[in-house]
Structure 1
């Protein structure tokens, strides 16, 4: 028998209860706790249960950065592009791969200028100009007509040679830069030899495509300027499609029409703006090289200007420099526009992200 309020025995007697009227301790002393804290003990000796995990708020979902889209492994972000993205992508590619871009542009520009210069020297239009200038007021109408027809024939011949040279240079530069941009979008390294090796087998069919494209625009322009805009825009993406998709010429024309359909004026506006920018910069670059011609014209307003061989060579040098600097811009804009249309219509940004080693996010779940 234990005392009331004493400690309990080992075999389950009553637990001690705190006294109701405990005496007040004297000053300076601390009252002991009325009931000591009891730690949980398992009768079988098992370990105590682990504490409950504290509440953690769910992580906030990361808002996608629409400026980057699926990432930017190369010169453009992998998402539908705006005008600034397209122009910036062309300039970035020219700056990042400047040796290859300007090297290829310089080779094609020198080739084009050389063919033009040879054509001008072989078809001597300067003699026709001198004969027209030397005709006095006593010349008959028939003499004037004969001289003008001769001058017109020579001019058409030199223009035809210049057109052939331009088509050759455009084909070489477009094929090379299209392959380069295909690598630049993914941020993959590429050498001049690799890009040239990949583009070479497609250059001859690409030349035929370029000739058909040019002829369509010229034939449409004979009737009016507005019909020329239709083939110019609808078939503008045929060259990049031909190089990157490796189809036939007719398949590339159909692919271009399919990609442009529904966005005709957007594609036309971007191409026109790129052409205006390139033409403006080219005119600024070539102006100092044509300064002698302008001075001759303004110095002798009453006489017909006849360019000398030195003037022709100087103008050719200015053309080479301007085409080297400005020529790649329009070609790169066209390729980026082709990639943009495919990202908008066919989800090519996901394919490009996978090719660049980027895992695209899963599609949103439908709740």
Structure 2
């Protein structure tokens, strides 16, 4: 980021000169344990933004993500709501043309058609359903890539307690949009192959490359370098990274379930709680489920993106001592 010189990797030249042996006020900052509080007599924690500038506990990462959403509601919640609404509505519209074929297959009476006719209807319905689903997934991917990169920029400012506008965040993120899309597609492909071959390699790769987005956006490095940076930062802390990511997934799933439940019940009520499988494919039911998905995504997408960025910051503070550079960038270091 152009205004935050502390984000460059150790292999990149820093935008701000550093005097040999220079330390933040009070000397080197202590490296606290996994969840341990600062020991008695330790230097006061510097917290210019949403997190203290020292290695973070798990709760501090989650709290920092929530605090960022609360401090920048118009930017984060507003952008998430727009992206969720556009992707979900367009996804629904992409599936509507194939809805009749799918409903016909669900309600098909095998005694009223020949086997060949049944196979033709089934093939047509599945082809249409897959086409609509792929379009929906692609739209969701585009929206998620934009939102994750955009929120990464905002969290980068939030860590330092600096204000940021939509125009400023977009200007900083815009050059990284296409590289981030390429990196997301590549990581998705690699992880999918790992999951297909065996679940364990897929999960291992998912964790190993979890920090590609913040590395690519904040360090302004290339796609290949971002993968290397993520691997380097996760090495030696795979299980801790996995635990935080898994906790994030559990939280988002619970939020989605809580929000989606009333809309699912309303959708069932519009059909009189009919046991007919075709009832779930009614227009009213689909619209209600789409509204629920929009509301849930508005909360969960920015939360998970913010957690990922703060996890990246934590890993850099633990493995590269970046807390000192961030303190300087926030105006707490020496000249």
Tell me the TM-score range normalised by the shorter chain.
Answer: 0.7 to 0.9
Structure whose CA Rg is larger: 1
Residue in structure 1 matching 2:96, options 121, 127, 136: 121
2:196 is paired with a residue whose SS is: helix
Aligned to 2:62: 87
Residue 328 (structure 1) aligned with residue 321 (structure 2): no
Aligned to 2:184: 210
Aligned to 1:50: none
TM-aligned CA distance change 1:133 to 1:231, over 3 Å: same
Aligned pairs for 1:312-327 within 5 A:
312-327=286-301
Residue in structure 1 matching 2:174, options 179, 185, 200: 200
Cα drift, residue 302 of structure 1: 5.4
Separation in 1, partners of 2:276, 2:147: 42
TM-aligned CA distance change 1:129 to 1:181, over 3 Å: same
1:287-343 Cα offsets, whole Å, 9 max, x none, are 222224444788433554352223222222211111112221000000000000000
TM-score by structure 1 length? 0.76
1:78 is paired with a residue whose SS is: coil
Q: Which has the higher helix share?
A: 2
Residue 347 (structure 1) aligned with residue 321 (structure 2): yes
Residue in structure 1 matching 2:133, options 152, 159, 167: 159
Q: What residue ranges of structure 2 are gaps of 5+ in the alignment?
A: 1-28, 31-36
Q: What residue ranges of structure 1 are gaps of 5+ in the alignment?
A: 1-62, 361-367
Pick which of 288-297 and 348-357 moved more: 288-297
Q: Is the 8 A contact 1:105 1:323 kept in 2?
A: yes
Aligned residues: 298
Q: Is the 8 A contact 1:178 1:240 kept in 2?
A: yes
TM-score by structure 2 length? 0.82
Residue in structure 2 matching 1:74, options 49, 74, 93: 49
Higher relative contact order (CA 8 A, sep 6+): 2
Q: Is the 8 A contact 2:268 2:274 kept in 1?
A: no
Aligned to 1:101: 76
Pick which of 176-185 and 218-227 moved more: 218-227
Q: Is the 8 A contact 1:80 1:344 kept in 2?
A: yes
TM-aligned CA distance change 1:103 to 1:309, over 3 Å: same
Separation in 2, partners of 1:73, 1:132: 57
TM-aligned CA distance change 1:73 to 1:233, over 3 Å: same
Query: What is the RMSD of the two structures over their aligned residues, measured on CA atoms?
Result: 2.3
